[in-house]
Amino acid sequence: MDYQPPLEDWAFLLDHLVDLGALARLPAFAKQDLSTETARAVFAEAGRVAAEVLAPLNGVGDRLGARLEGDRVVLPEGFAAAWRALAEGGWTGISLPVEAGGLGLPELFNTVVAEFWNGANMAFALNPMLSLGAAGAILAHGTAAQIEAWVPAIARGEMSGTMNLTEPEAGSDLGPIRTRAEPAGDHFRIRGQKIFITWGEHELARNIVHLVLARLPDAPPGSRGLSLFLVPKFLPDGRRNDLRCLALECKLGLHASPTCQMSYGERDGAVGWLLGEANRGLACMFTMMNEARLKVGIQGLGVAERARQASIAYARSRQQGGVAIARHPDVVRMLLTQRALVEAMRAVAGVEAVVLDRARHGEDPDLQARVDLLIPVIKGWFTELAQEVASLAIQIHGGAGYVEETGVAQLWRDVRVAAIYEGTNGIQAADLVRRKLGRDDGVAMARLLAEIAGDCQRPPQGAAACAAALAATATVQGALTRALVEALGRDPEDALLGSFDYLMATGYLLGGWQMLRAWRAAQGEAPFAQAKRATARFYLEHLLPRARAHQEAAGRWQGRVDWTRLACGD
């Protein structure tokens, strides 16, 4: 099953929907050439690496997987060479500052590359994703000495990074964490165990820096008493630190990504250094967590694109009833659904990546509120759609999709975890409603809805009815937002019961907005432009109604039944 990077789609977004000029005007990128030509060249090279280096390892990685031999994690042949290729190309430091050894490119470039890496090989792509996130946390909260010691090495691919949160009794609720850190001069001794640590042990990079949540001796109870520590596999003097991988999890998918049970301090205690302030570890970790949540959404986009490509190839070649099944009505429905969902996700990802950079570099304080609002939507909506697109790929392949030979079953198995890790999609929904709407009474959402409504006033030719439907959906979203804000003050549980539907409605609304903009931009009679307009029409006529269904469902939770007792069978 081949993978081809969607370069033409990204070229369309660069030309019409994504404001690349806004990035070029930011002082942070004054020394970068952010022309469309440069962007296309970078994307093309990233796509080549994805298709030629990473994609061929996807199937073999799934079949052979990672295995633990003593204290070593052994990976399938080719993975080490692939890591070297990324490091030599500078991709391991793509979004890190130039002064810290990175390429200093905007988040938009990182987003595109992340889609390609994950479309090619999601299991492999988790390593550079988490490493960039760890470097970002060190940049945000580390001392000058810590930044100098760790970040350039990550940028060069000599070191990778992980996040260590979860323990057997501390999953989404991190308050019960028992890993402890004891002062020992200019460092700390870390003792405890962590589980579900992605790429916690490997030999692709020469060293691994673990970001470990632990509790100081005098820390207050609960999550308020957590601190964050830098704990490397090898100490600066070359000695092996007192940490090791106890076991690898046997998972549904992502077999080539070692998910480790980690032990710290079985002998003298693992040496670690405090990152940020004592007892502020969770706030520091959320710098990495928010970056990871965005990139998990992009994982969903990447895998969905590959599933779509596999579906098209199979539907064109498979004959049933004397014709290719691509002409069968139900297969047409499924292929169009895949295409429209993937294109909507990609457009949202590109547009909001620019907003993220503008917010990060201080252009407008209101933009950070929009970024915070949409992080849970991108993580949650994208990964829900990715499961649907991958499942449709299995359905299009029929019985061949249900066996492993075609590779589409692997795509569904791999992407299934994306709705779970970095905070389940239910947690994303609760965060969207309780924290993001609750902290400003829905003001950031109201601004976004006003922008959508403004675009609906300028429908492209032939799209008046679709634009009116989108505007009506935005109006209902505004009323639902106000109702949920009110419910938060009256009965938060009622508001949270509707939060997942609210998140999904927000996602479909954002997708509809960008598809309307794509329709307007796709002028002319070239086949590509015609396909863009047809895909936008399909989305707005056939998929946007899902937003209205979710909106109606979100509003029907209000205080009628003891839903919790009913759900538990009481």
Confidence check: pLDDT of 559 > 70? no
Q: For residue 386, what are its two tokens?
A: 């990715």
Q: What is the pLDDT of residue 509?
A: 98
User: Where residue 494 falls among pLDDT bands split at 50, 70, 90?
Assistant: confident
Confidence check: pLDDT of 50 > 60? yes
Find the mean pLDDT for residues 318-339. 97
DSSP readout, 291-328? HHHHHHHHHHHHHHHHHHHHHHHHHHH-EETTEEGGGS
Confidence check: pLDDT of 569 > 80? no
Q: What is the pLDDT of residue 364?
A: 85
Amino acid in the structure at residue 256: A
Q: What is the pLDDT of residue 566?
A: 66
Confidence check: pLDDT of 175 > 90? no
Domain locations along the chain: 160-280, 440-562
Number of Cβ within 10 Å of residue 41's Cβ equals: 12
Q: What is the pLDDT of residue 351?
A: 97
Q: What is the pLDDT of residue 557?
A: 78
User: Nearest 5°: phi and psi at 444?
Assistant: -60, -40
Question: What percentage of the chain reaches a pLDDT higher than 70?
Answer: 98
Q: Among the options 167, 291, 352, 422, which is catalytic?
A: 422
Per-residue pLDDT tens digits for 506-558: 999 999 999 999 999 999 999 999 999 999 999 999 999 999 999 999 988 76
Question: What percentage of the chain reaches a pLDDT higher than 90?
Answer: 92
Per-residue pLDDT tens digits for 284-295: 998 998 999 999
Find the mean pLDDT for residues 146-151. 97
Q: Among 254, 252, 232, 250, which Cα is nearest to 241's? A: 232
Residue 420, burial from CB neighbour count under 10 angstroms (0-12, 13-18, 19+): middle
Q: What is the pLDDT of residue 225?
A: 94
Q: What is the pLDDT of residue 81?
A: 98
User: Where residue 568 falls among pLDDT bands split at 50, 70, 90?
Assistant: low
**Global pTM?**
0.96
For residue 422, indicate whether it is catalytic: yes
Q: What is the pLDDT of residue 570?
A: 61
User: Where residue 567 falls among pLDDT bands split at 50, 70, 90?
Assistant: confident
Say how far apart CA 360 and CA 337 lie, in whole Å: 34
Per-residue pLDDT tens digits for 273-317: 999 999 999 999 989 989 999 999 999 999 999 999 999 999 999
Per-residue pLDDT tens digits for 446-462: 999 999 999 999 999 99
User: Where residue 475 falls among pLDDT bands split at 50, 70, 90?
Assistant: very high
Query: Cα 365 to the chain's mean position, in Å?
Result: 24
Fold of 160-280: Butyryl-CoA Dehydrogenase, subunit A; domain 2 (2.40.110)
Say how far apart CA 219 and CA 282 lie, in whole Å: 13
Say how far apart CA 555 and CA 531 lie, in whole Å: 36
User: Where residue 362 falls among pLDDT bands split at 50, 70, 90?
Assistant: confident
